[in-house]
Structure 1
């Protein structure tokens, strides 16, 4: 009997201990949720104090991008895209790809904005929004692993890059491509390193939760999953029960919508510019390697599924383009069986012929063909230097050396972070290494030298790499100080060092954006034409004559669309004539692009008798009828 009583007493004590542990865990969860809600109630003042430097940078770059959007004249590629795709509507933009000038998804989105009535917003609005979004997303992903000021420094270095600035408010799809990359890596982070708790608000999961209480990301997740896996009846945390696998209404395990977002970003990137395959494949590789090293095989299979879904969606979207342009070629080929037929006739009777013809037309583009291997080997380093010069002008060689050093430090940081289970840092370091290394790998395998602007997306990757270099050096210094006999580096020293680095980055971005080469415009020829048309009084002119493609495209955008005056081409008695001073080819014998008329073909008798010079510079001359 006595032994039985002792057993009952021990069982009761064990039960009480379990209840106490459960209550303690619930109390800890309650405190965590309360602290999280308190963080969310910091208000605008607290938010600004924490993110002051980035807010300053964000507002400043927004003003600068707006100035660029309306002040710098559009150049040929923009004007061609606007007249031939954007201004013809969403559907037309989505089914035509006669030239690489049509960045399909960009043109379709821009066609929507074009409905607002402003040609400049229609042409450049999407790039402006994408550039501002890229700043936010870059700052957000950096805040996952580094302090606010260090993240702001990375955003400032990104904002100061020449190629980033050039594409920021330009009517092309490169800024949108960079946005999709950053959106994809943000989704990928949430899939691979899900945050549970921590800082709430606009920049949830800023990385500070990994510093509080000595808890790392994975340990924090497991702890919260352990608590939330039990239903604590009758207890509420700030009005919400801890039930199922939710805390504050947010799932702790990976969310389905992050996979959807990741797949959508990959699809959007490829649908905008096909060459974005240069970053789509490495992003998938980085995510796969992270999950493989972390042993999260179930998540890895889900990520592979999302990537395959993106590939399938992209194939479907490009199939529409291939069918459209393929049928267009077939009905115009005189020797073919479909000559003179309608597009729908071709699609109904032989869709495969249209599909294969359209795919052949896209893949045969000379801009994506391989070059001779010996030429590639001899020019490879010079090409990389030219790419680097597009990041910071005249700093190509230094940047290549810094990038190589950064890769070494990032690899060391990868190993160190993985050993420490510091998964946010491990994720970012692995991501930057994979995307940077894959650039020369892809070029070598394909044996191509793409347009330099194709690698504009690397701006955000290099900004992350530079931040991680500083972070790695600081980490090494802290470790050496901790192992040595001297005093440890005070925390405030690191805080002020990050502040100085961020302030220097912002000053550098201000300095860079004031350089003449940053604001000189995209093409001097378009600048000359814009200067001439700016002086044109459309109320005095009804007919016009221009002699080259550049002038014709500028006339359509600046006069017909911006001013609302449609001028009719008149080859005999025009009211206004605009011509390049060199209208012929090098030998003066035949027309070469972009010229559409020889100098002698202009109505010189009419010009000399009835017109006077109203504009002239070293490239263009304009005549107007004397009234």
Structure 2
């Protein structure tokens, strides 16, 4: 039965065949990036301090804000397979491919033939999306949660009457919101708009029962998110209280503190977390001008050097979505109406949040904006194809042009450079140098320390050069560049024992950033 269904879908729908080919191509492309690109600092830090130490450790530690806890926990399980690359980037790889499938399914319910595939192509060819796709961070997985939540809203919204079986959609919706917030607290930028879009959709069609269930699911997601973070608050709070000199709990065990004073421990941990906020707040004066420049820089990251044009087209797309959405609503086309409502709400609420906060967060937080932008672009292209005055098919021409342009971008040099050059050259220096675990190693910067753990499963915290058999020195240290000293370095020119380097060691390899010395 299922074979007939698959054959029917494959043979009768050319768009499905195109999507499968693109999907397989992206699977190979993402696989290449996963294994061939050197992890950059944030990835290496995450692996060294969280993923490599297991899911339980990752679930109870919070040394820095926006630590991608949920991602580290899931990756901690995958790391048990024994491959550091899969442990660090495997979850992102799976999520990146899942995003293509989910976006395609979402588009199929609202676009006319061919445009769902085009939407996937436009989204996957965005540079910011591509750069984050297989990174060992939580951004790609958070987008998976967003798309899953949207899929559940589509499932609920298309039904005329609810049944008991529909509870699974609300559960998955709630789990998606919870996991999204557990992966990234900044997922709140899309969690609230998705809930608002769902609420507006149900209100528009007077679906009171689904609306109530949506509210309950959203409240449940908030509650479960608090519970997950409460574990971290208790762990942090008990640790701080046990180290508080002269305090009532000084010297006590963490478990003892949690059992005897759970609310005190949770409050202490929560205060610590809130004292190191992730949001990059700026001065209110002149904020709107800064926000405009920030928006252009963000949209430049989607398609290189096209930020201003893309921003203008997106603004036109929002207006188009509002006008066209009204028409689709009157005609009773629920799926098309929702597909127009969602990107409009996501994009309009984003500047509202930022203005209220007076903040300019890191651009990578908003990689999810690629979803509504791609949807609006396809809506505009679909409309333009319908107004085609030429004798040839406007739809075929535009989709083919988008696909070729996307492929060219994905294969271009600008899309395939290393994430961090210092990390790349440090790894190159290690790979070109013969050393064993029995050697006395030392690390002169954090890149070396984290790469030794990731690439060779060697934990080295020794920074003393005197007794080392192999030493990597960055050229900024060697050239005595004290101005603008990099915090990643454990040594300066003055702290390096040059007499030992010159008398007992010899340079054996050099690249653009590092010189490798080995004991004679």
Q: What TM-score, normalized by structure 2, do the two folds share?
A: 0.94
Please report how far the alpha carbon of residue 182 of structure 1 lies from its aligned counterpart in structure 2 after TM superposition.
0.6
CA deviation profile, 1:530-567 (whole Å, cap 9, x unmatched): 22112022349712222111221122212226xxx979
Identify the residue that residue 169 of structure 1 maps to in structure 2: 134
CA deviation profile, 1:143-199 (whole Å, cap 9, x unmatched): 0012342111110000100111011111000000111101110011111123xxxxx
CA deviation profile, 1:467-489 (whole Å, cap 9, x unmatched): 122234456x49xx9xxxxxxx9
Are the structure 2 counterparts of residues 77 and 461 from structure 1 closer, same or farther at C-alpha, using a change threshold of 3 Å?
same
Are the structure 2 counterparts of residues 113 and 611 from structure 1 closer, same or farther at C-alpha, using a change threshold of 3 Å?
same
Are the structure 2 counterparts of residues 455 and 585 from structure 1 closer, same or farther at C-alpha, using a change threshold of 3 Å?
farther
Within 2, Cα distance between the matches of 1:439 and 1:337?
45
3-state SS of 1:574 partner: coil
Are the structure 2 counterparts of residues 416 and 70 from structure 1 closer, same or farther at C-alpha, using a change threshold of 3 Å?
same
Identify the residue that residue 405 of structure 1 maps to in structure 2: 316
Within 2, Cα distance between the matches of 1:528 and 1:183?
39
Contact 1:542 1:567 (C-alpha < 8 Å) held by counterparts = no
Please state if 1:556 is matched with 2:465.
no
Identify the residue that residue 220 of structure 2 maps to in structure 1: 309
Within 1, Cα distance between the matches of 2:6 and 2:465?
69
Are the structure 2 counterparts of residues 327 and 301 from structure 1 closer, same or farther at C-alpha, using a change threshold of 3 Å?
same
Please state if 1:59 is matched with 2:24.
yes
Within 1, Cα distance between the matches of 2:462 and 2:3?
66
CA deviation profile, 1:23-82 (whole Å, cap 9, x unmatched): xxxxxxxxxxxxx99983644741673412111111111111000000000011000000
Within 2, Cα distance between the matches of 1:396 and 1:155?
20
3-state SS of 1:367 partner: coil
Please report how far the alpha carbon of residue 318 of structure 1 lies from its aligned counterpart in structure 2 after TM superposition.
0.9
Match for residue 611 of structure 1 among 505, 511, 518? 505
Within 1, Cα distance between the matches of 2:66 and 2:353?
23
Please report how far the alpha carbon of residue 608 of structure 1 lies from its aligned counterpart in structure 2 after TM superposition.
1.5
Within 1, Cα distance between the matches of 2:84 and 2:7?
41
Identify the residue that residue 8 of structure 1 maps to in structure 2: none
Contact 2:381 2:398 (C-alpha < 8 Å) held by counterparts = no
Are the structure 2 counterparts of residues 568 and 536 from structure 1 closer, same or farther at C-alpha, using a change threshold of 3 Å?
farther
Match for residue 600 of structure 1 among 478, 494, 500? 494
Please report how far the alpha carbon of residue 371 of structure 1 lies from its aligned counterpart in structure 2 after TM superposition.
2.2
Match for residue 279 of structure 1 among 190, 199, 216? 190
Please report how far the alpha carbon of residue 460 of structure 1 lies from its aligned counterpart in structure 2 after TM superposition.
1.4
Please state if 1:140 is matched with 2:34.
no
Within 1, Cα distance between the matches of 2:208 and 2:66?
41
Are the structure 2 counterparts of residues 361 and 44 from structure 1 closer, same or farther at C-alpha, using a change threshold of 3 Å?
same
Match for residue 265 of structure 1 among 162, 176, 180? 176
Identify the residue that residue 519 of structure 2 maps to in structure 1: 625
Please report how far the alpha carbon of residue 345 of structure 1 lies from its aligned counterpart in structure 2 after TM superposition.
2.2
3-state SS of 2:442 partner: strand
Identify the residue that residue 260 of structure 2 maps to in structure 1: 349
Please report how far the alpha carbon of residue 518 of structure 1 lies from its aligned counterpart in structure 2 after TM superposition.
1.4
Please state if 1:507 is matched with 2:472.
no
Match for residue 281 of structure 2 among 362, 370, 373? 370
Are the structure 2 counterparts of residues 77 and 308 from structure 1 closer, same or farther at C-alpha, using a change threshold of 3 Å?
same
Please report how far the alpha carbon of residue 333 of structure 1 lies from its aligned counterpart in structure 2 after TM superposition.
2.6
Bigger mean CA offset, 36-45 vs 464-473: 36-45
Q: What TM-score, normalized by structure 1, do the two folds share?
A: 0.78
3-state SS of 1:622 partner: strand
CA deviation profile, 1:362-396 (whole Å, cap 9, x unmatched): 12224325321014223110011111111112111
Within 2, Cα distance between the matches of 1:377 and 1:425?
33
Please report how far the alpha carbon of residue 335 of structure 1 lies from its aligned counterpart in structure 2 after TM superposition.
4.6
Within 2, Cα distance between the matches of 1:434 and 1:270?
19
3-state SS of 2:278 partner: helix
3-state SS of 1:538 partner: coil
Q: How does 1:97-112 map to 2 (within 5 A)?
A: 97-100=62-65, 102-112=67-77
Question: Root-mean-square deviation (CA), in Å?
Answer: 2.6
Contact 2:243 2:251 (C-alpha < 8 Å) held by counterparts = yes
Aligned length: 520
Identify the residue that residue 188 of structure 1 maps to in structure 2: 153
Within 2, Cα distance between the matches of 1:291 and 1:74?
44
Within 2, Cα distance between the matches of 1:192 and 1:254?
14
Structure 1: stretches of 5+ with no match in the other structure: 1-35, 195-220, 226-250, 482-488
Contact 2:444 2:463 (C-alpha < 8 Å) held by counterparts = no
Contact 2:442 2:460 (C-alpha < 8 Å) held by counterparts = no
Please state if 1:576 is matched with 2:473.
no
Contact 1:105 1:272 (C-alpha < 8 Å) held by counterparts = yes
Please state if 1:532 is matched with 2:429.
yes
Larger radius of gyration: 1
Identify the residue that residue 319 of structure 1 maps to in structure 2: 230
Please state if 1:125 is matched with 2:95.
no
Please state if 1:300 is matched with 2:211.
yes
CA deviation profile, 1:507-535 (whole Å, cap 9, x unmatched): 12211112222111111211221221120
3-state SS of 1:99 partner: coil
Please report how far the alpha carbon of residue 100 of structure 1 lies from its aligned counterpart in structure 2 after TM superposition.
3.0
Match for residue 385 of structure 1 among 296, 299, 319? 296
CA deviation profile, 1:320-351 (whole Å, cap 9, x unmatched): 11111111122223253322222122212222
Q: How does 1:37-52 map to 2 (within 5 A)?
A: 40=5, 42-43=7-8, 45-46=10-11, 49-52=14-17
Identify the residue that residue 81 of structure 1 maps to in structure 2: 46
Within 2, Cα distance between the matches of 1:38 and 1:78?
42
3-state SS of 2:506 partner: strand
Bigger mean CA offset, 511-520 vs 362-371: 362-371
Identify the residue that residue 450 of structure 1 maps to in structure 2: 361
Please report how far the alpha carbon of residue 266 of structure 1 lies from its aligned counterpart in structure 2 after TM superposition.
0.3
